Amino acid sequence: MSTLLSTRRRLSLGLALAAALTGVGAYTAAAAPATTAPAPIPLTSSACPADLQQGEADGCVTQLQLELNLTGAQLTVDGQFGSATDTAVRTFQAAHSLTADGIVGPATKSALDAAAAAASATVDLRTQCGDLQTGASGACVSTLQTMLNTFNAGRLVVDGQFGSATDTAVRNFQAAHALTIDGIAGMAVKNALYDSTPAPRPSGPIDSAKVLNAAKSYLGVPYVWGGGHSLRGEGPGPSLGTCDQYNGPQPCAANTTAGLDCSGLVRAAFWFGAGIDLANGGDTSKQTQDKHLTPITEAQRRPGDVEYFGTDAHNTVHVVLYAGTDPATGADMMYEAKETNTNVHYVTLHTGGYWYHVTA
């Protein structure tokens, strides 16, 4: 089937998100380390330019970076408006329906001040919030988004809006903690967020067992055309897809159902199992050109290798993840997201495709 493009401790969120409201209508984030950046200056202060942009270096940029970090960016706070800050600004602007030009003018300042203030207002999800799901908004959602980012469950802008990206992150968190994958942050999800310890994203040599366990966690997730491809900026994992260029069974449910297509499944398995984002969300053909893939023969395959199907090694339409030999049956098995109206499954291996080994 063708695929589309492209804790046991409590989190000290109060410390991580400490901030205060100072001045009239001006949000001031927690102070940056004095040795690494100029002291923060509120973005609405007369001491800051009307438009902040790449090349600026002062306390206004320190403030900007602090606020961007509160809303999901991971910038080094140094008071220097460089390319990373520019990218973070554009990401924030796009997420808030602003012109994504990297220029921090009055509209961006206002939206960023509001989002940062909301992000700093953390609450206890277990006692102050009901079940959270798509459509919810407010401080409960901001806290949920911040905690999900701590667990590397998504790449969320902390804006207090439970949209498709937050839905994907909740599903990823549920999959990683053996919870029902429904995108709803109920009590089971909340307890796991507070009682689990965030693990660092995998790095170094690939452990195929972790990759396969990540794939296994998605068993039963629906096949969705374009699912798992960050079409809305949500990062790897089950997500809404798209009906563009879709010619499968009708009606197309990709715009309303969260799931994965074949390359979306493989992407999620390697992201959550090895910390590698194959082709940054690209389709099967783009994945075969990723620098982490090395062509191998079918005879060289081993668990954790990937097999692509198509007209040639770099013009492909389907991919599966080799799971190895099942000890109970002796059969070679694979994880696969096959087609619409099916779910991610663990089935007997299909051969005859193009094989690749993935390395760090």
How do residues 101-131 score in pLDDT, each as one tens digit?
999 999 999 889 888 877 666 789 999 999 9
3-state helix, strand, coil in the chain (%, to 5): 30, 15, 50
What average pLDDT does the chain have?
Answer: 87
pLDDT of residue 179: 96
pLDDT of residue 309: 98
Q: Are strands 354-358 and 293-296 parallel, antiparallel or unpaired?
A: antiparallel
Which of 112, 115, 121, 116 lies closest to 13 in space, CA to CA? Answer: 121
Element (H, E) at 263: helix 262-274
Q: Are 69 and 30 in contact (CB under 8 A)?
A: no
Domains, the chain, ordered by start: 18-120 (1.10.101.10), 125-195 (1.10.101.10), 208-358 (3.90.1720.10)
pLDDT of residue 121: 65
Higher pLDDT, 96 or 302: 302
pLDDT of residue 48: 93
Confidence category of residue 32, pLDDT binned at 50, 70, 90: very low
Whether the per-residue pLDDT at 31 is higher than 70: the answer is no
pLDDT of residue 86: 95
Q: Are strands 315-325 and 19-21 parallel, antiparallel or unpaired?
A: unpaired
Q: Which residue has the tokens 């940056």?
A: 32
Q: Are 358 and 306 in contact (CB under 8 A)?
A: yes
Whether the per-residue pLDDT at 221 is higher than 90: the answer is yes
Residue 224 φ then ψ, to 5°: -135, 130
pLDDT of residue 34: 42
Which of 131, 127, 133, 104 lies closest to 116 in space, CA to CA? Answer: 104
Q: What average pLDDT does this structure show over 18-26?
A: 30
pLDDT of residue 123: 87
Confidence category of residue 344, pLDDT binned at 50, 70, 90: very high
For the stretch 121-167, pLDDT in tens is 678 999 999 999 999 998 899 899 989 988 989 888 888 899 999 99
Pull the structure tokens for residue 200: 């660092």
